[in-house]
Amino acid sequence: MIVRQKAIYTSTTVGNGLFVFGIVILILFILNASFLLVAGKDGRALALILCACWVIGVPIFFFIEHAFFFRKWGDVTQFDQFKRLQDQAAKIWAAAIVILAAFFAQGFPGT
C-alpha cells in the first residue's frame, strides 16, 4: 500500500518553488556535464569553474534550505522526512560529483 507523504513545507508556494528550483538545477547539471563532454581541452578553465560551483554550491544550498527555508516554512512534524530527503539528495549530489570527476580523469572524452 502506497501512503502519500505529508508536505514538508506549510506553504505550498515555497515547497513548489523549491521543487521547480531543483528541476532547473538538474537541467543545469546535465548541460554542464554535456559541456564537459564536448568542450574538451579548449574549455578546461571554464569546466573547472563550473565543477567547483557544483562541488561547493550544492552543499551551500542544502545548508540554506535547512537554516532558512525549513525553519521559516517547514512543518516541524515532518523534520525527520526533511532530513531523509536531504540525505538522499546529498547522496545523489555525491554521485553527480563522481561523474564530473570521471570526466576529468578521462582527459575530457570526446576530444
What are the pLDDT digits (tens) for 11-23?
A: 989 999 999 998 9
Q: Is the residue at 44 inside a domain?
A: yes
Q: Is the residue at 6 inside a domain?
A: no
State the average pLDDT for the chain: 84
Report the 3 state secondary structure along 29-96: HHHHHHHHHHHHHHHHHHHHHHHHHHHHHHHHHHHHHHHHHHHHHECHHHHHHHHHHHHHHHHHHHHH
Q: Is the residue at 7 inside a domain?
A: no
* pLDDT at residue 84, as a whole number: 93
Q: Is the residue at 2 inside a domain?
A: no
Whether the per-residue pLDDT at 83 is higher than 70: the answer is: yes
Task: Tally the domains of the chain.
Answer: 1
**Average pLDDT of the residues in 76-88:** 93
Domain of 70, in residue numbers: 12-105
Read off the pTM. Answer: 0.77
Q: Is the residue at 22 inside a domain?
A: yes
Q: Is the residue at 35 inside a domain?
A: yes
Q: Is the residue at 54 inside a domain?
A: yes
